[in-house]
Amino acid sequence: MFQNSPPTRFGTVYRDDLARPETVAVYLNANLVDIETNANASLVKRLRIACLAGPQFWAEAPVFVLAAGGIENARLLLNADKVERAGLGNGNDLVGRFFMDHPNIAKTANIVFSARYPNFAFYDYHRVRGIKIYGFLTLTAETLRREGLPNFYLGLDKGQLADESASVASLRSIYKSLRGGHWPDHLGFHLRRVVGDLDGLATTLYERALHREPPLFSTFYSCECPPDPASRVSLVAERDALGLRRAQLDWRLPGDFAATMQRAHRLIGEELGRLGLGRLRINTAETTQDPMSAIENGHHHMGTTRMHRDPKQGVVDADCRVHGKANLFIAGSSVFPTYSHDDPTMTIVALALRLADHLKARPS
């Protein structure tokens, strides 16, 4: 199951803690633009910080933690190339590689639960003690191993047909994003689909108003992707406003992605049928012919400075320290060597707390 918490406005919630000078000094609108090392790049000496408005300064510290997000961590290391020409910590050509995200595909199948199954409302958004939760379907670890399937989940959208018209799907996508407090990805694309099918949209809304929605669910699928060195963040020649080379992303999915997605659906469908709980129909026309065209990313940027005890296989060691750099550490999901289908942030926080404990215990 998923549990949703309301967004935390960091400044509002933590302002008082952050304002206490003995705790931390906060510099807003200050961008890290360079990491300066000693002559053999074994030690970071200071950071160059720049503001878009012009001012620049240097920050010195005994220890540095890079925590700029799963793409930026790699971009900042690759840009810091004055001593190590391939980028700081990139002697083994690993920084930026093994990029992972969670592919999300909506409307992969329809499920109709039978009347014998009383708990299907669990899979729709509902509140338990004031907290918004919803359930999803997956397979046991044993079945996943036996079938050679990745970790995945099937979420359910109540009352939606997987083969509803594209304009209704777009309208729904816009509505869901706005309800979630943000603009949808590809807003122009969705608006064009809505405007291009006003007739179909009117018919659907008319039918919905007259007839109750059927007791069915459409599914959405998300899964883990194994690390692939060709899936990577690299730099392009174009520079941003502060002079850093911009990042480009080549996100690769496994070659058997469509096949494993179909197999996962089929197994869940067979089990629902065997137990008499419901029926699942894979929506082959819309999603599985060309899965890439229907994929959205999960906004989970992982793997670009992966952890491994061997510097030839990972950028950071088990303490999140960049191999070969005495005082440079990394926090964030860029250190994940692999990851399941789960959302990453709780693990990021757990690793950050672990890193903080490690730094506190370090002799100063």
Ligand X SMILES: Cc1cc2nc3c(=O)[nH]c(=O)nc-3n(C[C@H](O)[C@H](O)[C@H](O)COP(=O)(O)OP(=O)(O)OC[C@H]3O[C@@H](n4cnc5c(N)ncnc54)[C@H](O)[C@@H]3O)c2cc1C
Q: Which residues bind ligand X (CB under 6 A)?
A: 31-32, 67-69, 72, 76, 299-300, 332-333, 343-345, 348
Residue 183 Cβ vs ligand X, minimum distance, rounded to whole Å: 10
Could you identify the residue written with the tokens 């996508």? 173
Q: Which is nearer to ligand X, 31 or 37 (CB)?
A: 31
Q: Which is nearer to ligand X, 215 or 243 (CB)?
A: 243
56-60/64-66 β-pairing: unpaired
Residue 345 Cβ vs ligand X, minimum distance, rounded to whole Å: 3
Residue 305 Cβ vs ligand X, minimum distance, rounded to whole Å: 11
Residue 330 CA neighbour count, 13 Å, CB half:
34
Q: Which is nearer to ligand X, 76 or 106 (CB)?
A: 76
- Say how far residue 263 (Cα) sits from the centre of its chain: 23
Residue 242: count of CB within 10 angstroms of its CB: 16
Residue 148 CA neighbour count, 13 Å, CB half:
5
Q: Which is nearer to ligand X, 73 or 262 (CB)?
A: 73
Chain length of the chain: 364
State the maximum Cα–Cα separation within the chain, in Å, rounded to a whole number.
Answer: 75
Dump strand ranges (E) for 86-214: 103-113, 126-128, 131-134, 136-137, 152-158
Q: Which is nearer to ligand X, 314 or 332 (CB)?
A: 332
Residue 167 Cβ vs ligand X, minimum distance, rounded to whole Å: 24
Residue 208 Cβ vs ligand X, minimum distance, rounded to whole Å: 29
Q: Which is nearer to ligand X, 27 or 117 (CB)?
A: 27
DSSP 170: H
Residue 176 Cβ vs ligand X, minimum distance, rounded to whole Å: 12
Residue 271 CA neighbour count, 13 Å, CB half:
11
Containing 59, the helix (H) or strand (E) segment is: strand 56-60
Residue 259 Cβ vs ligand X, minimum distance, rounded to whole Å: 28
Tokens encoding 94:
């690993």
Q: How far apart are CA 181 and CA 73, in angstroms?
A: 27
Q: Which is nearer to ligand X, 83 or 242 (CB)?
A: 242
